[in-house]
Amino acid sequence: MRVTSHTVGAFQENCYLVVDEARDEAVLVDPGAEGERILRAVAASGARLTAIWLTHAHIDHIGAIAAVKRVHDVPIWMHPDDQPLYERGAWQAAAYGLPFESPPPADHALADGDILRVGDEEFRVLHTPGHAPGHCVFESAGTGLLLAGDLLFAGSIGRTDLPLSDPRAMTRSLARVMALEPALHVHPGHGPATTIWRELETNPFLNGVARVAGG
């Protein structure tokens, strides 16, 4: 499996292209902006795009869905608790003065514990509300990978002062994810990659969470 990061748009969001080279199939995670660039990355991979997975529905993660769907009519997977954010994308964008093309409706509802596939590779869905009510992360235990959205960043965590954020839910979600395999490689929605272990050791926002997770 090959994962490439494409940092796009005014919010410098990381869109991930996950390719199973054995089956030449790919999924896009959070196509947030710069649709033409993301489409070029899909074409360059040589793989067939089979789905769009969303960690959550803030505008910086959904702004290129419409452009991608015009070329690849693949299903969109999103947790239904983010539907209010998804529908208010244009309104969110106007508040920031950004151009925005509203995405078509999501096709499939993510749920905690779901198993998603790209080719022969499997990802487990963990519903991790807090930053957004329908926020999910995608874990590939087999390849040691976590697509973390805006839950966890290198040295920081996602904001919980936004509309529909929930700081208490965020604390629970972080505790759950920090209890996963420490060697997991974390690919966040913004900034550089890291590992669970590294964040447990160094992330100033997680000291309390780490103690809770460790009992």
Q: In terms of CB distance, is 119 or 158 closer to Zn ion?
A: 158
Q: How far is the CB of 135 from Zn ion (least distance, A)?
A: 8
Q: In terms of CB distance, is 38 or 47 closer to Zn ion?
A: 38
The pair of structure tokens assigned to 38 is: 């993301």
Q: In terms of CB distance, is 18 or 57 closer to Zn ion?
A: 57
Q: How far is the CB of 211 from Zn ion (least distance, A)?
A: 26
Q: How many CB atoms lie within 10 A of CB 109?
A: 13
Q: In terms of CB distance, is 54 or 209 closer to Zn ion?
A: 54
The residue assigned the tokens 């920081």 is 156
Q: How far is the CB of 167 from Zn ion (least distance, A)?
A: 14
The pair of structure tokens assigned to 81 is: 């608790």
Residues near Zn ion (CB under 5 A): 58, 60, 150, 189
* Ordered DSSP codes for 26-90: EEEE---S-HHHHHHHHHHHTPEEEEEE-S---HHHHTTHHHHHHH----EEE-GGGHHHHHTHH
CA 137 remoteness from chain centre? 6
Q: How far is the CB of 57 from Zn ion (least distance, A)?
A: 8
Q: In terms of CB distance, is 11 or 123 closer to Zn ion?
A: 11
Chain residue at closest Cβ approach to Zn ion? 58
Distance between first and last Cα of the chain: 34
Q: How far is the CB of 113 from Zn ion (least distance, A)?
A: 23
